[in-house]
Chains A and B, each alone.
Chain A
Amino acid sequence: MDENNTILKNDDSLYERVEYDPAEEVGEIVKSNQLRRMWYSYRKRKVAVLGLGIVIVYILIAIFATYLAPFDPIKQDLGNMLQTPGGEHLLGTDEVGRDLLSRLIYGTRISMRIGLQTIVIGFCFGTPLGLIAGYFGGKLDMLIMRAMDVLLSFPQMLLAMLFTSVLGTSLDNAILAVGLCNIPRFARTARSETLTVRGSEYIEAARALGAKNGRIITSHVLINILSPLIILATLNFGNAIITCAGLGFMGIGAQPPTPEWGAMLSNGRQYLLIAPHVTTITGLVIMFLVLGLNLMGDVLRDVLDPKQKD
């Protein structure tokens, strides 16, 4: 599960270690074949549409869960346990006879909430820290970044597990823990972007005109470093969902009978030999949402990252 932060690791290297951006889209610089290039961007758009489409479908499901779910997601029916897909229950039932489809539909809400809240936590705390560190530099910078280094010394999943153990087992605490783990990633990206922007002419100009630091940070720096942060947020969204599912899988996330996907997957695994559909379907649902988010993130990276433009 800690494998998750690999994407982010890459992003760290994208923004920190590497002066140029190695993202595939740099290939666009290839000017030799205009036709190809058009075809390429078209294909890219198609992929973007696909990603966006998947995410929108999930969002709609989350919004209209009450209307879409055919059954009550927490209503048990002990006589109809572990039914296979088909029949009255379209996707079958779980270990206490609850309708799997309805649980998955309501679970969408929970996953959306997980993604949003963890990103908000990471963004709201990480970005200001990174901005301040990057803008003012010096001792403050060192202090903040060393603190971030401490948090980065743990694999993400491990840190989330430790935090959740301390805070107590609940969905809110799992979200808080994963959100906390996001802070250093936002802080690092914000800092390195701020460092690039700080030296630019218009900041110098603003400063020469006597603008206050606070105003420069909010109205000039922040605006200019927003795009990489948005990309990071999109990619992190899917990641947070996987990490939270991992916590749910370990039994330290959402409490029953909450239809959280990770917990559902974990409960289903006890019946892997007799009712594999519970685990299989739940996993696929997680996979497609994260896939959609990643597709979207990839395209966003093309569109928003100014470094990509030639």
Chain B
Amino acid sequence: MKDTLKKALIMVLVVLLAMSAFTGCGGSSAGSAGSSGSGSAGSAAAPSGGTAAADTGAKSKDFVYVSGTEALTLDPAMITDSNTGRIARQIHDVLFERVENSEIVPMLATEATEIEDGLVWNVKLVEGATFHCGEPFNAAAVKYSFERLIAPETASPKASALAGLDYVEIVNDYEVNLHLKARSLMFLGSMTNYAASIICPKCAEEHGLEGYGTHPCGTGPLKFDHWEPGIELVMTANNDYWGPKPTVDSVTFRGISEDSSRVMMVKTGDADVIAGVPPTLVENLEGDESVTIFTLPGYRTIQIGMQTERGPLSDIRVRQAITYAIDRHSIIDNVMHGMATFPSGLISTVVQYSNPDLDPHDYNPEKAKELLAEAGYPNGFSTTLMTPEGRYAMDRQVAEVVQSMLAEVGIIAEVQVRDWGSFSSIIDEGTMDLYLIGVGNSSGDAEYNFHTHYGVGGGQNYTRTNIPAMEEIRLNLGTSKDNEERRERLFKMAELLNDNFSSVPLYYEHQFFALRSDISGFKLYPNEQIKLAYLVRN
């Protein structure tokens, strides 16, 4: 027995040792991969290397970018969240991009003209750009990228970004004709979406649909180096970039979900740029001289949606009452710490062609009570308010505050916090009453929202909005003779929508980034895009 005992113990020790050696190797190999990469990338050593270098006078050109979630995939056709879209766009360029003031400027294209009554867009491309693998950028790459996105085999969740596209015709190496199914003036805007990024046909074929997400190859100023999921994603400078040469050596991307941790990292210098600073911590960061805050109103409108086909909510007076019962100034000042824009209608005013002069339906609890009594609910009623948590800044808190404001006029709303998985399918089924949601815009053009969110048959018309007068204009938008006429029509539609009270716009969300004060060259655009290739440490 004694021998067996000894043997067993020895056996266990050996197994344990083998196991620890295995993990030890795993750890150290990861470490050495980092340090070997640091010759060119400075990956793992970047944060500590940054401070060390600062002491000796030579400024490190390696930067660390930290966001709330890590990138999910780097295949532009497969991305569904804006954070990942931002990261993938560092590698990939698009034909047109939206810059400040939501203006559209050419990027990989030089010009675009509408021909054949607007059914075809003729696009001329820049010459001399190459993909990271060395392949040239040309018309074939555009055709491949666009047709890959809309092909059924790709099963891209973003195929609708180029929904109006029928096929791409190559005119010559640097000119394409984009054939549309119907005339669309917002098509140019659609091409600014990250899903319409140009990818390298050779690499995409080589790695297939499964592999491209981890082997991306674009024409962007940064190129993919390596990626350890859950740990870090490293990009290095593309020194052969066709545009202005990047000033960084490398950028390391990390995902840290805890808000306080992320903020601590930028305060201590463990991170150079962080995304998604919660409004509550903005003040805290403003007091820190080593950190600068970057903010810009974004495309996203946080709103209380109402399923207009259910119970009391089908009565417009009830919806009006709910709108008047919510003190949005108080929410913006107290919960959001003033870091949000008071809304004019459901579409953010930084979106092109959105109407900035709509009736705000301001806070008026007395009127709300009157309207409720008129609608036959003098003592209010019970309902539910569903909200995701952690998807938008302060989402659950805002829902709780709305709940208590509704209670003031007699509406008892039970708050239901749901993770995004169940939330999205419940609103799709339409079995909810009130719900808090952030509605974005992937093209930067107000027309997009009317088709997708507020039009009959729209993929995300969760409120079941159906305004006949608005529908009539919407279906004829393609006949607008120019963008000026389209703007007038869209303004009229916004008015009709605003008077329908199908959702309560709470505020337009701001994007918050914080970076070390000694860093310049950071670019932030209203369509949630950023540029990291031109960071400079001063």
Q: A212-255 CB contact bits vs B (8 Å, 1 = yes)?
A: 00000000000000000000000000000000000000011001
Residue-by-residue, is B255-269 near A (CB-CB < 8 Å gives 1, otherwise 0)?
000111001100000
Inside 8 A of B330's CB, which chain A residues have their CB?
Answer: 78
- CB-based contact A270/B419 at 8 Å: no
Q: 5 smallest A-B Cβ distances: which pairs?
A: A78-B334, A272-B260, A76-B404, A256-B415, A273-B260
Which single residue of chain A is at the shortest CB-CB distance from B404? A76
B392–chain A nearest beta-carbon distance, Å: 13
CB distance from B413 to the nearest CB of A (A): 11
Q: A169-B418, A256-B415 are in contact. Are A269 and B399 (CB under 8 A)?
A: no
Contact status A270-B415, CB under 8 Å = no
Beta-carbon contact of A257 and B403 below 8 Å:
yes
The complex places the Cα of A270 from the Cα of B416 at a distance, in Å, of 20
A271 CA to B337 CA, complexed, in Å: 13
Chain A residues close to B by CB (< 8 Å): 74-76, 78-79, 81, 95-96, 168-169, 251-252, 255-257, 267, 269-274
Is the pair A255, B417 in contact by a Cβ cutoff of 8 Å? yes
Give the chain B neighbours of A274 by CB distance below 8 A.
280-281, 283-284
Q: Check A273/B281 contact, CB under 8 A, given A76-B400, A95-B397, A96-B400.
A: yes
Residues on B with C-beta less than 8 A from A78 are 330, 334-335, 401
Could you list 16 further interchain pairs (A-B, Cβ under 8 angstroms) beyond the known A256-B417, A269-B258, A270-B260? A74-B404, A76-B404, A78-B401, A95-B397, A96-B400, A168-B422, A169-B422, A251-B419, A255-B414, A255-B417, A269-B260, A272-B260, A273-B263, A273-B281, A274-B281, A274-B284
> CA–CA, A168 to B418, complex, Å?
9
Chain A nearest CB, measured from B262 CB (Å): 11
**Nearest A residue to B390 by beta-carbon distance?**
A251
Interface residue? B389 (CB, 8 A): yes
Nearest CB in chain B to that of A271: its residue = B280
Distance of A3 Cα from B498 Cα, bound (Å): 53
Q: Which residues of A contact B260 (CB under 8 A)?
A: 269-273
Partner of A270, one of B280, B284, B334, B400: B280
Most buried by A among B330, B400, B418: B400
Q: How far is A282 from B400 in the complex, measured between Cα atoms in Å?
A: 20
Verify if B201 is at the interface (C-beta below 8 Å from A): no
> Which of A75, A76, A269, A271 has a CB less than 8 Å from the CB of B401?
A76
Asked whether B417 lies within 8 Å of A169 as measured between CB atoms, the reply is yes
Tell me what chain A mostly uses at the interface: helix, strand, loop, or mixed: loop
Chain B interface: which size bin? 20 to 34
B396 within 8 A of A: yes
- Show 5 residue pairs from A and B whose CB-CB distance is below 8 angstroms, ordered by the A residue: A78-B330, A95-B397, A255-B415, A257-B400, A270-B278
Binding site for A on B (CB under 8 A): 258-260, 263-264, 278, 280-281, 283-284, 330, 334-335, 389-390, 396-397, 399-401, 403-404, 414-419, 422
B263 — nearest CB in chain A belongs to which residue? A273
- Whether A251 and B284, one on each chain, are in contact in the complex, defined by CB atoms closer than 8 angstroms, is no
Q: State which of B258, B389, B404, B414 has its C-beta within 8 Å of the C-beta of A251.
A: B389
CB of B284, distance to nearest CB on chain A (Å): 5
| Shortest Cβ distance from residue B412 to the other chain A in the assembled complex, whole angstroms | 12
Specify which chain B residues have a CB less than 8 angstroms from the CB of A168 in the assembled complex: 422
Residues on the A chain within 8 Å of B334, using CB: 78-79, 81
Taking CB atoms, residues of chain B closer than 8 Å to A75 are 404
Residue of B whose beta carbon sits closest to that of A270 = B259
Residues of A near B258 (CB, < 8 A) are 269
A74 CA / B414 CA spacing, docked (Å): 13
Question: Please, which residues of chain A bring their CB within 8 A of the CB of B281?
Answer: 273-274
Q: Do A257 and B280 have beta carbons less than 8 Å apart?
A: no
Q: Which residues of B contact A81 (CB under 8 A)?
A: 334
CB distance from B419 to the nearest CB of A (A): 7
CA of A239 to CA of B249 in the docked complex: distance in angstroms? 51
CA distance A96 to B389 in the complex (A): 16
Complex CA distance for A272 and B260, rounded to whole angstroms: 7
CB distance from B436 to the nearest CB of A (A): 12
Q: Which residues of B contact A79 (CB under 8 A)?
A: 334
A95 CA to B389 CA in the complex, in Å? 15
Q: Given A76-B404, A78-B401, A271-B280, answer yes or no on A255-B419 (Cβ-Cβ < 8 Å).
A: no
Q: Contacting A273 at CB < 8 Å: which of B284, B389, B404?
A: B284
**If the complex has contacts A251-B389, A270-B280, are A169 and B263 also in contact, measured as CB distance less than 8 A?**
no
Bound state CA distance, A95 and B399, in angstroms? 12
Minimum C-beta distance from B327 to chain A (A): 9
Q: Is the CB of A169 within 8 A of B416?
A: yes
Q: Which of A76, A95, A256 has the most CB of B within 10 A?
A: A256
Complex Cα–Cα for A96 and B415 (A)? 15
* Cα–Cα distance between A269 and B259 once the two chains are bound (Å): 9
CB neighbours (8 Å) of B284 from chain A are 273-274
Nearest CB on B from A249, distance (A): 12
A95 to B279, CA, bound (A): 12
Return chain A residues, CB-CB under 8 Å to B401: 76, 78, 96
Determine the distance from Cα of A257 to Cα of B406 in the docked complex, in whole angstroms. Answer: 14
A302 to chain B, nearest CB (A): 32
The docked-state distance in angstroms from the alpha carbon of A211 to that of B259 is: 66
Nearest chain B CB to A158 CB, angstrom units: 16
Residues of B within 8 A of A251 (CB): 389-390, 417, 419
Distance between B332 CB and nearest chain A CB, rounded to angstroms = 11
Closest partner residue, chain B, to A80 (CB atom):
B334
How far apart are the CA atoms of A256 and B394 in the complex, in Å? Answer: 14
Residues in A whose Cβ lies below 8 Å from that of B335: 78, 96
Q: Is A273's CB under 8 angstroms from B264's CB?
A: yes
A251 to B401, CA, bound (A): 18
Q: Which residue of B lies closest to A253 (CB)?
A: B417
Residues in B neighbouring A169, C-beta threshold 8 A: 416-419, 422
- Provide the bound-state CA to CA distance between A108 and B404, in Å: 23
CB nearest to A273 among chain B residues: B260
B334 (CB) vs chain A CBs: closest residue: A78
- Give the complex CA separation of A79 and B401 in angstroms: 12
Kindly provide the distance from the CB of A254 to the nearest chain B CB, expressed in whole angstroms. 9
CA distance A251 to B420 in the complex (A): 12
Q: How far, in Å, is B257 (CB) from chain A's closest CB?
A: 11
- A169-B421 Cα distance, complex, nearest whole Å: 12
Measured CB to CB, the nearest residue on chain B to A275 is B280
Residues of B near A95 (CB, < 8 A) are 280, 397
Complex Cα–Cα for A76 and B406 (A): 12
Partner of A255, one of B278, B390, B416: B416
Please name all residues of chain B whose beta carbon is closer than 8 Å to the beta carbon of A256 when the two chains form the complex. Answer: 396, 399-400, 403, 415, 417
Chain B contacts for A267, CB-based, 8 A: 396-397
| Cα A184 to Cα B237 with chains together (Å) | 57
Chain B residues positioned under 8 Å from A74 (CB to CB) = 404
Q: How far is the CB of A267 from chain B (nearest CB, A)?
A: 8
Complex CA distance for A168 and B384, rounded to whole angstroms? 15
Closest to A97 in B: B334
State in angstroms the CA–CA spacing of A242 and B258 once bound together.
21
In the bound complex, how far is the Cα of B258 from the Cα of A96, in angstroms?
20
User: Min CB distance, B496 to chain A, in Å?
Assistant: 33
Residue on B with the closest CB to A254?
B417
Which residues of A are found within 8 Å of B389, using beta-carbon distances? 251
Cα distance, A168 to B416, chains bound together (Å): 10
| A76 cross-chain contacts in B, Cβ below 8 A | 400-401, 404
Of the listed residues B280, B281, B335, B416, the one surrounded by the most CB atoms of chain A closer than 10 A to its CB is B280
Alpha-carbon distance between A252 and B389 when the two chains are bound, in angstroms:
10
- Set of chain A residues within 8 Å of B397, measured between Cβ atoms: 95-96, 267
With both chains docked as a complex, state the minimum distance between the C-beta of A93 and any C-beta of chain B, in angstroms: 12
With A76-B400, A270-B260, A273-B264 already in contact, the answer to whether A257 and B419 are too (CB < 8 A) is no
